[in-house]
Structure 1
Amino acid sequence: MKEGQIRFDALDSWRGIAALLVALFHFQTAGFFYDFPLIRHGNLAVPFFFVLSGFVITHAYRTSLSNSGDGWRFVIRRFGRLYPLHLFTLSIFVALELAKLMMAARVGLHSQEGAFAGTNDIASLIANIFLLQAVIPFPELTWNASSWSISTEFYTYLLFVSLVLSLGKYRGWGAVAVFVASGVGLVWLDTYKPDLNLASGLGLVQCIFGFFAGHLTYELHLRLRRNAAVQGTVAELAATAIMLLLFWFKPHYTTFNILGFSVAILLFSYERGTVAKLLRIRPLLFLGKLSYSIYLVHFFVFAVLFAIARVAQGWLGQSLIATDGVHERLAFGPAGLMDLMALLYLAVVILCACFTYAYVEEPGRQFFNRLSKRITGTRAPIGQGANAR
C-alpha cells in the first residue's frame, strides 16, 4: 500500500472519542457527568483535532503538491470535505430562526431573543456562509458555534498549500517558521489576553499552531519509523497517559497542550501495540468515521433540547433549567436522571450523525472530489484512505 493510502485507525478512534467529549462538554446538565474533568475539559478536543488534521493531511498530500493544479485540487477537495455539512447545519439554524420569526408574527409567541438577533444576526450569518466566522473577529461564537474551528481550519489549509507551493524545497523551513511564530503568538495571547474569544483571533492562532505541529509531527514520524523505543505497547500506554492527563488537568497554556497532543499522536501513529489493537474495534472505528458529523451536529441537538425545555417549563410553570448566572443546566430530577438524559442526548447525536454522514457529508465529499478532477484534470487519487478529515 502506498504511503498516502495508509489509514491510522487508532488515531481515527481517538478522534471519535474526542468528538463525543466535545458533545458532552456542551450538553450541560445537573448530573455527575457535568463536573467530571474529562468532560468539563472536553473542549480541549479541538486543539487535538487541529494537530491530528495537520498530521493526516501531511501524510495524505506531502508527495502530491508540486504545481498549481495540485494546489487547486487540494483546495477543492478540502473545501468539499468541510463545507457541505457546514452549510447543511447552518441551514438548519437559519430554519429555526425563520420558525421563530413566523411564530412571533402569527401567534405572538416570543422567545427570549428575537429572530436573527444576538449571536445569530445577519452579519455573522454572512460570515458563516463564507467560512469567516472565526477569521473576521466577532465578540462571540455565532450560529452553529462549533463551526468556528471549521472556519480556521479551511484558511489554515490555504496557508499550508501556499507555503508548500511557493517555497518548494524550502517548505520544511517555512513550516518551522510558521510553527514557531504561531507558537510564540499563542503563548502571548494565553498570557496577556486570557479572556480573548475564540472567534476574535485566538482560535485562528490555535489552529495554525496545532496544524503545523501536526505537520512536523508527521515528518518526525517518518524519521523514527525504525526506532523501536517509540513503538509498541509501552509507548502507546505513555501516549494514553498523556491524553488523559491533558484532558484531566487542562493546563492553561494551549501551546503546551498542543505539544502534548503531538507527542501522543506520534506514539500512537505506528499502531504496533496492544492499545492500538483495542482502539481498532468496530464501534470505535465507526465513531471515528462519524466524528466530523458528530462534531457539527451535536450543537444543533443540544440547542433543540434546551429550546424544548424552555417551552416546556413555560407550559408546566415549573423550572426545568437552572442557572448560576453564567451557565444554564438542565435540572429537573436527580443527578442520575440527568446523566441518563446526557446518554440519551449522545444516542440522538450519533443517530443524527449517521444520517448526515450518509446523506450530506459523504455525498458532498465525493461530489467535490469528482469536481476537482474535472477542473484540474485526471490524476491518481490523493489522500485516499488516510483519514484526512
Structure 2
Amino acid sequence: MEAAIASASTSRAAPRRIVFGSLNGLRFILAIWIAWFHVGHMFDDAGMGSIALLRMGAARVDIFFVLSGFVLTHVYWNRSKVSFSYVDFLVARLARIYPLYLFALALVACYIFAGSLVGKSPENPYPLSDLIASLFFLQSFGVTETNAWNFPAWAVSAEIGGYLLFPVFLAIANLLKRMPWVMLAVGIFSIIAAELFSRHYFNLPLNTAVTDWGALRGAIMIFCGVCARVAYSGFTRGREGAIIATMFGILIAGASAINEWGLPLIGLGASFMIMGLARLDHMHEPTGLSHPVMQRLGDYSYAVFLLHAPIYTLTVEILSMAGITFHPTLLTSFLMVVMVTIIAVPVTNVVEKPARKYIRRGWENLRHQQLRHAGL
C-alpha cells in the first residue's frame, strides 16, 4: 500500500528525479495511524478501539489509495516523453509490493505452524484456500471465506483493482487533460456512482467493503487520485492558496471520517490535501512532512502497514506465554507502534529493497530498458 517519492528514468534519457517529500511523510503518518487504530481494533474493540480519533484510522486507507493514484499518474501519465508500457508497469508494481507482502504472509503461516506444534490453535480459522487466494491478491475480490491471513493486506489486494484498470484511467486523463477541474469532478462523481452500485448490488456501503469487493473501493479511490493529479496541473495558486487547499482537504477528509459521511467527501478532501502539499513541495516550502526524518520514516511505511498485525499477534501471544496479559491503553498501544516501526527498518533494508532491486534488474536486463520508479 502506498506514496510519494516519484522519479522517472529510461535508457534513452538521463534519470530525472522529482520529489514530493511531503507526500512521503504523509504516507508514514497514515501508516502509523492505521497501525495504532488496529491495536484497539484487535484487542479492545469496545474500549480503545472505539476512540473516535483512532477509528478515523480506518478511513486513512482510502487516502492511501488516492495518494497512490496521484503519484502513479505523476510518474506514468502520457505527458511523459516515454510511451506507457502496461507490462513494465505491472512488473514494477509487483517488484514493489510482492516481496514484503509475501514475507508478511510467511510470518503469519509460521505463527500458525508454530502454534500447531505446541497444540495451540488460533481463535479464528485460517482456511488454506484463503491463503492460496491471498498469494494471488484475490482477498478483496469476493472469493475468500475470511480475511484472516494478515487482514490489513486486503488493501494491497484492493490496489490491484486499480492497477488492472490503470491504462483506462490514463486514457481518461489524456482525454480530459485540458479540463483539469472537470477531471476532478469526474473522479468525485465516479465515487458516488461506485457507492450507489455497491449499495444496490452488494447491499454494502462502499467504505465498509473489504473482502466483499474491496477491489472496487480501491480502484475507484485510485482513480480519484488520478483525477487529482490531472487537476493539479491546473492548480497554479501560490503559497497561500496551497496552504488553504491543504487545510480545506484535511478538514473535509477528517470530518467525513469522524462522521462517516462516505467516500466521496473523503476523496474530495484527500485530493485537495494532496494537491496542496504537492504544490508546497513544488515551491520548496517547508511543511514538516518534508523533513529528512519524515522522509526516512516514509520509506518504512509499507513495512509498518503490512507487518503490524502479525507482529501484534505474535507479541501478545509471547506475553501470554510469559503469564502477562496485554491491556491496550494509549501508552501501550503507542509502544506497540514504536516496536513495529523499529522492526520495519531492518525488514525494509534486508528484505524489501534487495528483493525489489533484484526483480527490477532482472526485468530490465531482459527488456534492455530501465523501469520507471514510483517509490510507492
Whether TM exceeds 0.5 here: the answer is yes
Change (3 A) 1:7 1:250: farther
1:44-193 mapped onto 2 (5 Å cutoff): 44-63=59-78, 70-104=85-119, 110-111=120-121, 113=123, 118=125, 120-161=126-167, 164=170, 170=175, 180-181=189-190, 183-189=192-198, 192-193=203-204
Change (3 A) 1:190 1:11: farther
Unaligned runs of 5+ in 2: 1-5, 9-15
- How many residue pairs were aligned? 351
Name 1:20's counterpart in structure 2. 32
Alpha-carbon distance in structure 1 between the residues aligned to 2:86 and 2:368: 12
Matched, 1:256 2:265: yes
Name 1:335's counterpart in structure 2. none
Alpha-carbon distance in structure 1 between the residues aligned to 2:333 and 2:255: 24
Q: What secondary structure sits across from 2:74 in the alignment?
A: helix
Matched, 1:214 2:220: no
CA contact (8 A) 2:62 2:221 kept: yes
User: Per-residue deviation at 1:35?
Assistant: 4.6
State which drifts further: 40-49 or 274-283.
Answer: 274-283
Name 2:334's counterpart in structure 1. 343
Amino acid at match of 2:265: F
Alpha-carbon distance in structure 2 between the residues aligned to 1:43 and 1:304: 22
Amino acid at match of 1:339: L
Unaligned runs of 5+ in 1: 105-109, 322-329, 332-337
CA contact (8 A) 1:72 1:376 kept: no
Name 2:17's counterpart in structure 1. 5
User: Per-residue deviation at 1:239?
Assistant: 3.6
Amino acid at match of 1:149: A
Change (3 A) 1:169 1:233: closer
Name 2:237's counterpart in structure 1. 227
Change (3 A) 1:342 1:209: same
Can you list the C-alpha shifts for 1:6-34, whole angstroms capped at 9, x where unaligned? 11111111111010000011102669965
State which drifts further: 277-286 or 192-201.
Answer: 192-201
Matched, 1:369 2:360: yes
Alpha-carbon distance in structure 2 between the residues aligned to 1:52 and 1:198: 19
Name 2:292's counterpart in structure 1. 282
Return the match for 1:198 from 192, 210, 235.
Answer: 210
Q: What secondary structure sits across from 1:5 in the alignment?
A: strand
Amino acid at match of 1:71: Y
CA contact (8 A) 1:53 1:214 kept: yes
CA contact (8 A) 2:253 2:268 kept: no
Return the match for 2:314 from 296, 304, 307.
Answer: 304
Alpha-carbon distance in structure 1 between the residues aligned to 2:197 and 2:364: 42
Change (3 A) 1:265 1:187: farther
Can you list the C-alpha shifts for 1:80-139, whole angstroms capped at 9, x where unaligned? 1010000011011111111122212xxxxx3354xxx71x21000000111111124334
State which drifts further: 237-246 or 131-140.
Answer: 237-246
CA contact (8 A) 1:182 1:205 kept: no
Alpha-carbon distance in structure 2 between the residues aligned to 1:161 and 1:256: 25
Change (3 A) 1:187 1:265: farther
Identity over the aligned pairs, expressed in percent? 23
Can you list the C-alpha shifts for 1:169-212, whole angstroms capped at 9, x where unaligned? 64869x887875554122443584249651111x1111111101
Amino acid at match of 2:149: W
Amino acid at match of 1:17: I
Name 2:372's counterpart in structure 1. 382
Alpha-carbon distance in structure 2 between the residues aligned to 1:66 and 1:138: 39
Alpha-carbon distance in structure 2 between the residues aligned to 1:48 and 1:252: 15
Name 1:334's counterpart in structure 2. none
Alpha-carbon distance in structure 2 between the residues aligned to 1:205 and 1:6: 30
CA contact (8 A) 2:239 2:280 kept: no
Change (3 A) 1:256 1:138: farther
User: Per-residue deviation at 1:151?
Assistant: 1.0
Can you list the C-alpha shifts for 1:284-324, whole angstroms capped at 9, x where unaligned? 22221111111001111111123234445xx57xxx36xxx
